[in-house]
Amino acid sequence: MSEHDPGLPKAHGAAVLSAQMRTSPEDFFVEELPGFEPSGSGEHLLLTVEKRGMNTAFAAKHLADWAGVGDVAIGYAGLKDRHAVTRQRFSVHLPKRIAPDLAALSVEGEGAESLRVIEHTWHAKKLPRGALAGNRFVLVLREVAGTREAIEARLQAIAAQGVPNYFGEQRFGRDGDNVANARAMFAGRRMRREQRTLLLSAARSELFNRVLAARVQAGCWDTPLEGDVWMLDGSRSVFGPEPFDAALAQRLAAFDIHPTGPLWGRGELRSTAAAAQLERAVLAGEEAAALRAGLEAEGLKQERRSLRLRPEGLAWRWLGDAELELDFQLPPGTYATVVMAELGAVRNAGRGG
């Protein structure tokens, strides 16, 4: 079993490979795709940086120290891992519009950490979370074992059909203990504010993954159930339920819409009929009920998430007999690791980072 695979059922069948991922940071390249064009003026210095061996929080602290500002003055759209080479935007609030020496921001250490500025401009607002169009990944798998024919057939199937849109292991903590901590929090254990947000997300993600796993097992994660709620591709807009007709079938086949599962909170499920029946049945157990009650008590509202994820522009090339490079784009809030899990046992050599 892959370290990215906590036992969730697969849509495409048995593993077709085993491999190592992140044997070096350069083997896991992530580029944030910007969600807007900078205004070119304002009090926020907008920086595009490339960093190696730094997670987003570490880089944000480095930026705050460089600019002589508090942590609250730093904005970023998404979180990026340490054991990778990543490109992402940061904003730095500088009301006097005087930027410190950009050269002094660079980190060219002899160790694993480095940071350099690729672009800089001014912008009118702090960079908020989620202000990105997605992420591009270039991943190199090493020590690949498996037949090339079977691996390429699986990649073609993933490109054509997509994969189940599970929340990845990152959401659940390094030891997978975020859900247990969420249960403890709901039972009364005090947690820091930033930790509470993390644990609420983990609890919601656990419930969603259970529903999606049940639909994968039933073979209907990418096909309709009566009463499904639909999400427009590339947005969070939902509609339905409504009768499934030829027009919806055409849109589903074209990846214009996707079936959804619940992100739990207060209120009634939007799904009805067979879809709602499945969701209620999966989440009826004692453990799930405790998570549902905790999320409702915290005031979260019912939302939906797509059950299906299709990597955009999926391409691959062999770098050697046992080295495979993958290149694809994913929308915000989705995980490259769930794509890897549909290939097989991909061991994360950089997990310790």
> Which structural domains are found in the chain, ordered by start?
36-130 (3.30.2350.20), 164-309 (3.30.2340.10)
Q: Given pLDDT bands bounded at 50, 70 and 90, which one contains residue 100?
A: confident
Does residue 5 have a pLDDT over 70?
no
Q: Given pLDDT bands bounded at 50, 70 and 90, which one contains residue 3?
A: very low
Q: List phi, psi (to 5°) of 154.
A: -65, -40
Q: Distance of CA 96 to CAs 41, 89, 144, Å?
A: 12, 21, 53
Residue in 285, 29, 261 with CA at minimum distance from that of residue 164: 261
**209 within 8 A of 232, measured Cβ to Cβ:** no
Note the pLDDT of residue 6.
Answer: 54
Tell me the per-residue pLDDT of 296-308, one tens digit each, with 9 for 90 and over.
999 999 999 999 9
The residue assigned the tokens 């005031």 is 299
Q: Given pLDDT bands bounded at 50, 70 and 90, which one contains residue 247?
A: very high
The residue assigned the tokens 């998430």 is 305
Q: Given pLDDT bands bounded at 50, 70 and 90, which one contains residue 174?
A: confident
Q: Distance of CA 28 to CAs 86, 232, 249, 322, 325, Å?
A: 8, 29, 36, 17, 10
100-124 average pLDDT score: 87
Does residue 1 have a pLDDT over 50?
no
CB burial readout 10-40, b (16+ within 10 A) else e: bbbeebbbbbbbbbebebbbbbbebbeebee
100-121 average pLDDT score: 86
Q: How many residues does the chain have?
A: 353
The dihedral sign for the CA sequence 281, 283, 286, 287: positive
Of 5, 65, 81, 233, which is the active-site residue?
Answer: 81
Tally helices (H) and strands (E) across the chain: 8, 17
How many Å apart are CA 92 and CA 75, to the nearest integer?
A: 7
186-195 average pLDDT score: 91
In a 3-state reduction of DSSP, which class is residue 216?
Answer: helix
Does residue 76 have a pLDDT over 70?
yes
Catalytic annotation present for 81 = yes
266: left (phi over 0), alpha (psi -120 to 50) or beta: beta
18-37 average pLDDT score: 94
Q: What is the DSSP-derived secondary structure letter of residue 235? A: S
241-259 average pLDDT score: 97
The rounded Cα 192 to chain-centroid distance in angstroms is 23
Output 197 or 98, whichever has higher pLDDT. Answer: 197
Average pLDDT over the chain, rounded to an integer? 93
What are the tokens at 25? Answer: 């940071």
How many Å apart are CA 302 and CA 207, to the nearest integer?
A: 12
Output 200 or 3, whichever has higher pLDDT. Answer: 200
Note the pLDDT of residue 110.
Answer: 54
Note the pLDDT of residue 352.
Answer: 45
Please state the pTM of the whole predicted model: 0.91
- Identify the burial level of 75 via C-beta atoms within 10 angstroms of its C-beta, where 0-12 means exposed, 13-18 middle and 19 or more buried: buried
What percent of the chain lies above the pLDDT cut of 70? Answer: 96
Q: What is the DSSP-derived secondary structure letter of residue 54? A: -
Output 107 or 136, whichever has higher pLDDT. Answer: 136
What is the pairing mode between strands 238-239 and 107-108? unpaired
